[in-house]
C-alpha cells in the first residue's frame, strides 16, 4: 500500500514535470494551474507513503537508500513549492520536477538495501540526516537556478529573427539569481549543523580514528567547497556560466561523497 | 454585407447592416437598438476631430442626444479613434436615423455631407456584437490595447450620471464589460507589448524584475528617449542620470524627468511601494559618460553620434565595476550608439531600434492570432445575451396567460357553486375538491400548447 501511494505521487510528479514546460518555456501561464496543484497533491501522497514506509520499517528516520531518495525528492518538491509561493515562478520546475520524478521513481520501483549497520540514536541522527539532505537539496536548487539563469540570459540575448524568440521564462534574471544565492545561503547552515552533529556522535561512539576515513575527510572537503562557492559568488557577483561551473563542481563533490559512502568501511549503521 | 466587411472597407454611404428579417428576429428590446459612429478605419483624422467631444462636454452632449425625437436611451463613446452613439430608439426606421444625423449636424455644426460618407450603422444583434467587440478591444487600432475598456466604462459612467441609460442599455453595457473581461482572461490578446517604448520596459522587467530603485542613464535628449524614460519611470525607476553633448538640453530634460518623478511619487504606485527610495535626477557631463555609466542598470541612448559611444571593452569594464550585475542597453539611435558586439559580453543586453520594432511587430502578429479566439467568445456571448433577453421578455406573456386562465377558472367555479348553493343539493367538500382538481387539470392541458410555443420561441 505504501508503494502504491508513492507510485501515485510519481504519476503526479510526472504530470507536474510535463505541465511546467509550457508554463515556463512557452509563456502559457494557464499550465501552471495543472503543475502546481499536481505537485501539491504529489507531495501529500509522497509524505503519506514515506510516513507509512518508516512506520512499517519500525524506525522514524530514512536510513535505507530508497528512503533517502524518497526523502530527498520530497525536500526538492517542497523547495519548488517554496520558490513558487515566494516568487510566483514555476521555472525552477523545469529541472527540479524531473529530478524529483526520477528520485521518487527509483524509490518506488527499486527499493534499496540497508545503508546503516550500527544502532541509531534516533533524535540526533535524524537531525544529522535531515539537515544534510536539506543542504543537498539546496545545492541542487542552486545549480538548477544557475542553469535557468543561463537559459534566460540566452533567450534575452537572442535576436528577434525567430518568431518565438521572446518566449522567455516567467522569472526575471535577477530573481533567478536571488533564488540561486538564497538557496545556497539556506544550505550552508544546514550542512554545517548536520556535519557538526554527525561529528559529535562519531567522536562519542568511535573516537578520533573515525575522522581519518577518506569519505569523512571528503565530506569536510565538501563543506569547504560550499563555503568557498558562497564566498566567491558574493565577492565577485558570479553569475551565468561561471556560476553553473562552480555549482556543478560542488555537486560533483556531493556525488563523490555519496558514492564513497557505498565503499567506506565506516558510516554504516543498522536499524534497530 | 456583413458587419466585418462594413468595418474594414471605407463606407461610401450610411449602411444598414442587419437585414430586416434578421433584425426583426433578433430584436431584443422594446424599441430598436441602433449604433452609429465613425472610427479610424472609416474616417480620416480631419473628420474624427470634428466629431470628438471633450470629456467636460460629454454629459451635456449625451443629454442633448436623448432629447432628440424617438431616442429613449443613449451613450456616447468619444475617443481619439472613434466617436460612437449607442441609442435605444422608439422604433427602427429611417426617421430615427435622420434624427441622429440631425443631432450630429446641429450639435457639432458639421454638414451631413462631410460626416455621412464615413458613418457606419449597426442595428440590434449587430449593434450588440459591435459594442462587445469595441469593449474587448477587437475593433481598436492596436488590437488588444487596454485603454478602450476604461474609455467605455467612463462613457457609461457619464451616461449613467446624466440619466441617459436605464433598463435596456444598462444591462447591455454591464454585459459588455463582462465579455471584455472574459476575452482578456481567456485569451492572450493583451498580454504582450506592442509599442517600442513598452517593449523596452517589458525587456527591462525580464532582466531586473521590478524596476523600483533602478538607475536609468539617458544619453541624448531626443523625443524617443524621453518617451521611453517616461515608461521606465512609470514602472518605478527613480534614479535618472542624463547626459547630453549640450549641457543645457540635458539640464532641461533632467528637469522634466524630475517633474515626472514628483508626480509619480505623489499619485503613482511608487508612493505606496517605494517609500524611502532616493528619487534623484542628475546631469552627467558628457566627458564623464564612460566613468559614470556603470552606475546605471539601464542605459537609454539616442544621440546623433556617427560612431558607437559604447563598445564591448566598455561593457566589460562596466560589468567589472558593477560586480557582474546585468546592464541593459536600449539603443534607439540611428546610427547606433552601442556596438552590437556588446551583446556578446556576458551580463550586457543590447536592443537596438530594429530589435524593439521587430518584437513589437511579433507581438502584434500574436495578438492577431489571439483575436480569432476572442471573436468566437464575442460571438457566443452575443447569442447568449440575446437568448437571455428573449427568455426574459417571454416571462410576462407566460405569466399573463396563466393568470388569465386561472381567473376564468375561478369565476366559472364560483358561478357553478352559486347555482348549486341555490338548489336543494349543495356540493360536499369532497365534490368541491374533485371539481377544483378537474378544472385545474383541464386548464393546464388547454394551456400547454400555447405555453410550450411561447417557451420554444424564446429559446
Complete DSSP assignment for B139-196: SSSSTT-SHHHHHHHHHHHHHHHTT---TTHHHHHHHHHHHHHHHHHHS-TTSS--SH
| Structural domain count, chain B | 2
pLDDT recorded at residue A121: 56
B73 and B147 assigned to the same domain: yes
Q: How confident is the model at residue B397 (pLDDT cuts 50, 70, 90)?
A: confident
| Of B11, B4, B2, B79, residue with least CA distance to B372 | B4
Q: Is A231 on the interface with B (CB under 8 A)?
A: no
B43 and B183 assigned to the same domain: yes
User: Do residue B349 and residue A241 have CB atoms under 8 angstroms apart?
Assistant: no
Q: What is the mean pLDDT of residues A263-272?
A: 53
B207 and B337 assigned to the same domain: yes
Active site residue B80: yes
Ranking B245-254, B301-310, B449-458 by mean pLDDT, the lowest is B449-458
The answer as to whether B444 is a domain residue is no
Q: Examine the pLDDT at B20 and tell me if it is beyond 50.
A: no
B347 and B264 assigned to the same domain: yes
CA distance B248 to A187: 53
Contacts of A168 in chain B (CB under 8 A): 206
Q: Is A227 on the interface with B (CB under 8 A)?
A: no
Tens digit of pLDDT for each residue in A161-199? 555 555 667 788 889 888 888 888 899 899 899 888 888
Mean pLDDT, rounded, of chain A: 80
Scanning A22-61 for CB atoms below 8 A from B yields 27
B164 and B203 assigned to the same domain: no
pLDDT recorded at residue B265: 63
Q: What is the mean pLDDT of residues B174-202?
A: 86
Q: What is the three-class DSSP state of B455?
A: helix
Q: What is the mean pLDDT of residues A26-46?
A: 89
Tens digit of pLDDT for each residue in A54-78? 777 666 666 677 778 888 899 999 9
Q: How confident is the model at residue B30 (pLDDT cuts 50, 70, 90)?
A: low
Nearest to B207 among A27, A166, A174 (CB): A174
Element (H, E) at B198: helix B196-208
E strands, B294-376, are: 298-301, 327-331, 348-352
Residue of B nearest to A173 (CA): B207
Complete DSSP assignment for B384-445: HHHHHHHHHHHHHHHHHHHHHHHHHHHHHHHHHHHHHHHSSSPPPHHHHHHHHHHHHHHHHH
Q: How confident is the model at residue B313 (pLDDT cuts 50, 70, 90)?
A: very high
B48 and B131 assigned to the same domain: yes
User: Do residue A240 and residue B355 have CB atoms under 8 angstroms apart?
Assistant: no
B36 and B173 assigned to the same domain: yes
pLDDT recorded at residue A167: 61
Q: Examine the pLDDT at A266 and tell me if it is beyond 60.
A: no
Domain boundary pick from B299, B327, B357: B357
B102 and B235 assigned to the same domain: no
Q: Examine the pLDDT at B15 and tell me if it is beyond 50.
A: no
B20 and B168 assigned to the same domain: yes
The answer as to whether B382 is a domain residue is no
Catalytic residue chosen out of the listed positions B1, B80, B433, B446: B80
Best B192, B207, B352 member to test A by mutation, with max A CBs in 10 Å, is B207
| Cis geometry, peptide bond prior to residue B61 (ω within 30 degrees of 0) | no
Max avg pLDDT among A84-98, A160-174, B191-205, B352-366: A84-98
Percent of chain B with pLDDT over 70: 88
pLDDT recorded at residue A198: 84
Ranking A2-11, A252-261, B323-332 by mean pLDDT, the lowest is A252-261
Nearest to A238 among B192, B324, B362 (CB): B324
pLDDT recorded at residue B149: 92
Tens digit of pLDDT for each residue in B45-61? 888 888 888 888 899 99
pLDDT recorded at residue A70: 86
Q: What is the mean pLDDT of residues A104-131?
A: 70
Structure ipTM: 0.75
Q: Examine the pLDDT at B187 and tell me if it is beyond 60.
A: yes
Nearest to B207 among A159, A172, A236 (CB): A172
Q: What is the nearest CA distance from B449 to chain A, expressed in angstroms?
A: 48
Domain extent, residue B334, equals 196-357
Residue of B nearest to A170 (CA): B206
B322 and B341 assigned to the same domain: yes
CATH code: domain of residue B343 = 3.40.50.720
Percent of chain B with pLDDT over 90: 30
Q: Examine the pLDDT at A270 and tell me if it is beyond 70.
A: no
Domain boundary pick from B357, B380, B402: B357
Q: Is A268 on the interface with B (CB under 8 A)?
A: no
Mean pLDDT, rounded, of chain B: 82
Tens digit of pLDDT for each residue in B138-172? 998 888 888 899 999 999 999 999 999 988 899 99
Scanning B307-326 for CB atoms below 8 A from A yields 322-326
Residue of B nearest to A28 (CA): B188
User: Do residue A161 and residue B358 have CB atoms under 8 angstroms apart?
Assistant: yes
Scanning B359-388 for CB atoms below 8 A from A yields 359, 362-363, 365
pLDDT recorded at residue B164: 93
Contacts of B359 in chain A (CB under 8 A): 160, 165-166
pLDDT recorded at residue B48: 85
Q: Is A236 on the interface with B (CB under 8 A)?
A: yes
Domain boundary pick from B329, B357, B385: B357
User: Do residue B207 and residue A173 have CB atoms under 8 angstroms apart?
Assistant: yes
Q: What is the mean pLDDT of residues B93-120?
A: 80
User: Do residue A241 and residue B346 have CB atoms under 8 angstroms apart?
Assistant: yes
Q: What is the mean pLDDT of residues A102-111?
A: 81
pLDDT recorded at residue B314: 95
B128 and B227 assigned to the same domain: no
pLDDT recorded at residue A110: 67
φ/ψ (deg, to 5) at A46: -60, -45
Nearest to B206 among A161, A165, A168 (CB): A168
Contacts of A27 in chain B (CB under 8 A): 188, 191
Tally Cβ neighbours within 10 Å of residue B52.
16
Q: How confident is the model at residue B272 (pLDDT cuts 50, 70, 90)?
A: very low
Contacts of A167 in chain B (CB under 8 A): none
Q: Examine the pLDDT at B26 and tell me if it is beyond 60.
A: no
Whole-structure pTM value? 0.67
Tens digit of pLDDT for each residue in B223-234? 777 777 778 888
| Of B325, B211, B297, B313, residue with least CA distance to A233 | B325
Q: Is A91 on the interface with B (CB under 8 A)?
A: no
| Of A115, A143, A144, residue with least CA distance to A129 | A115
The answer as to whether B418 is a domain residue is no
The answer as to whether B26 is a domain residue is yes
The answer as to whether B126 is a domain residue is yes
Best B325, B362, B366 member to test A by mutation, with max A CBs in 10 Å, is B362
Contacts of A163 in chain B (CB under 8 A): 362, 365
Q: Examine the pLDDT at B173 and tell me if it is beyond 90.
A: yes
Q: What is the mean pLDDT of residues B419-438?
A: 80
Q: Examine the pLDDT at B316 and tell me if it is beyond 50.
A: yes
Q: Do B397 and B454 touch, CB atoms closer than 8 A? A: yes
Q: Examine the pLDDT at B269 and tell me if it is beyond 80.
A: no
CATH code: domain of residue B132 = 3.30.460.30
Max avg pLDDT among A91-100, A233-242, B270-279: A91-100
The answer as to whether B219 is a domain residue is yes
Q: What is the three-class DSSP state of B274?
A: coil
The answer as to whether B393 is a domain residue is no
pLDDT recorded at residue B159: 94
pLDDT recorded at residue B183: 92
Scanning B179-218 for CB atoms below 8 A from A yields 188, 191-192, 203, 205-209
Q: Is B110 on the interface with A (CB under 8 A)?
A: no
**All cell numbers assigned to A146:** 544557475
Nearest to A237 among B192, B323, B365 (CB): B323
B161 and B180 assigned to the same domain: yes
Say which residues have a Cβ less than 8 Å from residue B57's Cβ, sequence separation at least 6: none
**Quick one: how many helices (H) and strands (E) in chain B?**
17, 10
Q: What is the nearest CA distance from B356 to chain A, expressed in angstroms?
A: 8
Q: Examine the pLDDT at A245 and tell me if it is beyond 70.
A: yes
Q: Examine the pLDDT at A271 and tell me if it is beyond 90.
A: no
Q: What is the mean pLDDT of residues B195-204?
A: 84
Contacts of A238 in chain B (CB under 8 A): 324
Q: Examine the pLDDT at B16 and tell me if it is beyond 50.
A: no
pLDDT recorded at residue A54: 74
Amino acid at each position: 500500500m505504501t508503494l502504491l501511494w508513492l507510485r501515485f505521487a510519481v504519476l503526479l510528479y510526472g504530470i507536474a514535470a510535463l505541465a511546467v514546460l509550457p508554463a515556463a518555456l512557452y509563456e502559457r501561464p494557464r499550465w501552471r494551474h495543472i503543475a502546481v496543484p499536481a505537485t501539491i497533491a504529489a507531495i501529500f501522497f509522497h509524505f503519506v507513503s514515506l510516513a507509512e514506509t518508516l512506520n512499517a520499517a519500525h524506525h522514524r528516520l530514512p536510513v535505507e537508500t530508497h528512503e533517502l531518495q524518497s526523502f530527498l525528492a520530497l525536500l526538492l518538491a517542497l523547495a519548488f513549492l517554496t520558490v513558487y509561493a515566494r516568487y510566483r515562478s514555476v521555472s525552477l520546475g523545469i529541472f527540479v520536477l524531473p529530478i524529483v520524478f526520477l528520485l521518487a521513481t527509483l524509490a518506488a520501483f527499486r527499493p534499496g538495501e540497508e545503508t546503516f549497520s550500527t544502532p541509531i540514536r534516533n533524535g540526533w541522527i535524524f537531525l544529522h540526516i535531515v539537515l544534510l539532505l536539506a543542504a543537498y537539496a539546496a545545492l541542487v536548487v542552486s545549480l538548477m537556478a544557475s542553469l535557468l539563469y543561463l537559459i534566460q540570459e540566452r533567450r534575452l540575448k537572442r535576436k528577434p529573427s525567430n518568431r518565438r524568440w521572446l518566449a522567455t521564462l516567467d522569472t526575471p534574471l535577477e530573481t533567478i539569481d536571488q533564488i540561486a544565492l538564497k538557496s545556497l545561503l539556506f544550505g550552508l547552515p544546514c550542512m554545517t549543523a548536520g556535519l557538526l552533529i554527525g561529528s559529535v556522535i562519531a567522536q562519542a561512539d568511535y573516537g578520533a580514528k573515525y575522522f581519518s576515513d577518506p569519505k569523512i575527510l571528503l565530506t569536510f572537503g565538501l563543506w569547504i567547497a560550499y563555503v568557498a562557492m558562497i564566498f566567491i559568488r558574493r565577492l565577485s557577483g558570479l553569475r551565468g556560466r561561471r556560476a553553473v561551473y562552480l555549482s556543478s563542481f560542488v555537486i560533483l563533490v556531493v556525488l563523490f561523497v555519496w558514492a564513497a559512502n557505498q565503499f567506506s568501511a565506516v558510516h554504516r549503521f543498522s536499524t534497530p | 454585407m456583413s458587419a466585418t466587411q462594413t468595418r474594414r472597407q471605407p463606407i461610401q454611404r450610411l449602411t444598414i447592416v442587419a437585414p430586416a428579417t434578421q433584425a426583426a428576429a433578433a430584436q431584443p428590446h422594446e424599441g430598436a437598438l441602433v449604433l452609429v459612429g465613425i472610427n479610424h478605419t472609416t474616417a480620416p483624422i480631419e473628420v474624427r476631430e470634428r466629431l470628438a467631444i471633450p470629456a467636460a462636454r460629454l454629459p451635456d452632449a449625451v443629454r442633448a442626444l436623448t432629447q432628440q425625437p424617438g431616442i429613449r436611451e443613449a451613450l456616447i463613446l468619444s475617443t481619439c479613434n472613434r466617436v460612437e452613439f449607442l441609442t435605444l430608439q422608439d422604433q427602427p426606421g429611417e426617421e430615427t436615423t435622420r434624427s441622429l444625423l440631425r443631432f450630429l449636424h446641429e450639435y457639432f455644426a458639421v454638414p451631413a455631407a462631410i460626416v455621412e460618407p464615413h458613418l457606419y450603422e449597426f442595428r440590434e444583434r449587430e449593434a450588440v456584437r459591435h459594442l462587445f467587440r469595441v469593449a474587448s478591444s477587437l475593433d481598436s487600432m492596436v488590437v488588444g490595447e487596454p485603454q478602450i475598456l476604461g474609455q467605455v466604462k467612463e462613457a457609461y459612467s457619464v451616461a449613467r450620471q446624466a440619466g441617459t441609460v436605464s433598463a435596456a442599455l444598462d444591462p447591455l453595457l454591464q454585459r459588455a464589460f463582462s465579455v471584455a473581461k472574459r476575452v482578456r482572461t481567456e485569451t492572450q490578446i493583451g498580454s504582450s507589448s506592442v509599442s517600442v517604448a513598452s517593449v523596452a520596459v517589458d525587456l527591462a522587467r525580464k532582466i531586473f524584475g521590478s524596476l523600483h530603485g533602478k538607475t536609468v542613464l539617458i544619453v541624448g535628449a531626443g523625443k524617443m528617449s524621453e518617451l521611453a524614460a517616461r515608461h521606465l519611470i512609470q514602472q518605478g525607476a527613480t534614479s535618472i542620470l542624463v547626459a547630453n553633448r549640450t549641457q543645457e538640453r540635458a539640464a532641461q530634460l533632467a528637469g522634466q524627468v524630475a517633474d515626472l518623478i514628483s508626480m509619480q511619487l505623489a499619485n503613482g504606485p511608487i508612493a505606496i511601494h517605494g517609500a524611502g527610495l532616493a528619487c534623484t535626477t542628475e546631469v552627467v557631463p558628457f566627458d564623464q559618460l564612460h566613468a559614470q555609466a556603470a552606475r546605471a542598470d539601464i542605459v537609454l541612448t539616442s544621440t546623433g553620434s556617427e560612431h558607437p559611444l559604447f563598445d564591448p571593452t566598455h561593457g566589460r569594464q562596466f560589468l567589472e565595476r558593477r560586480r557582474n550585475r546585468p546592464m541593459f542597453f536600449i539603443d534607439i539611435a540611428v546610427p547606433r550608439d552601442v556596438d552590437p558586439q556588446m551583446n556578446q559580453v556576458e551580463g550586457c543586453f543590447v536592443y537596438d531600434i530594429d530589435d524593439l520594432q521587430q518584437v513589437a511587430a511579433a507581438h502584434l502578429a500574436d495578438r492577431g492570432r489571439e483575436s480569432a479566439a476572442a471573436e468566437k467568445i464575442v460571438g457566443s456571448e452575443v447569442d447568449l445575451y440575446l437568448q437571455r433577453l428573449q427568455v426574459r421578455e417571454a416571462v410576462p406573456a407566460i405569466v399573463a396567460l396563466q393568470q388569465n386562465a386561472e381567473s376564468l377558472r375561478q369565476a366559472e367555479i364560483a358561478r357553478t357553486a352559486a347555482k348549486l348553493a341555490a338548489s336543494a343539493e349543495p356540493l360536499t367538500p369532497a365534490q368541491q375538491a374533485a371539481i377544483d382538481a378537474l378544472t385545474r387539470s383541464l386548464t393546464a392541458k388547454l394551456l400547454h400548447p400555447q405555453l410550450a410555443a411561447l417557451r420554444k420561441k424564446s429559446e
